[in-house]
């Protein structure tokens, strides 16, 4: 799996990430076991970048990803989970900047 460096700290993650929104929020969600299997399959293929957000349901996505990580038996030492999102007009410009 190719990798990229993110942010000022140059955190190394997979070039491909897994968006977790559809697992608990949009498109009718997914069965928990199917979602966990999907996360495990992605991690087995070298994905180390998981995208989730509280806006997808109060912590539903984070709990799901936590269950998947807890049960994962592979290498998760370089795993990045992105979870920050706010839907507030005043914050949109701020969210475009790196800190």
Catalytic positions are: 56
- What tokens does 23 get? 């697992």
- On the CB side of 6, CA atoms within 13 Å amount to 16
- Pair 50, 80: CB distance under 8 Å: yes
25 and 60 Cβ atoms separated by less than 8 Å = yes
| Token pair in block for residue 98 | 């790196």
The C-alpha angle with vertex 75 and arms to 31 and 58, in degrees rounded to 5, equals 40
């Amino acid at each position: 799996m190719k990798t990229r460096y993110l942010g000022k700290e140059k955190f190394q993650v997979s070039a491909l990430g897994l968006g977790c929104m559809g697992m608990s929020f949009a498109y009718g969600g997914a069965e928990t076991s199917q979602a966990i299997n999907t996360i495990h399959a992605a991690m087995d293929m070298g994905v180390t970048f998981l995208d989730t957000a509280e806006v997808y349901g109060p912590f539903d996505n984070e709990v799901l990803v936590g269950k998947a990580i807890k049960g994962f038996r592979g290498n998760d030492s370089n795993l990045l989970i992105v979870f920050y999102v706010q839907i507030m007009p005043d914050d949109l410009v701020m969210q475009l900047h790196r800190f």
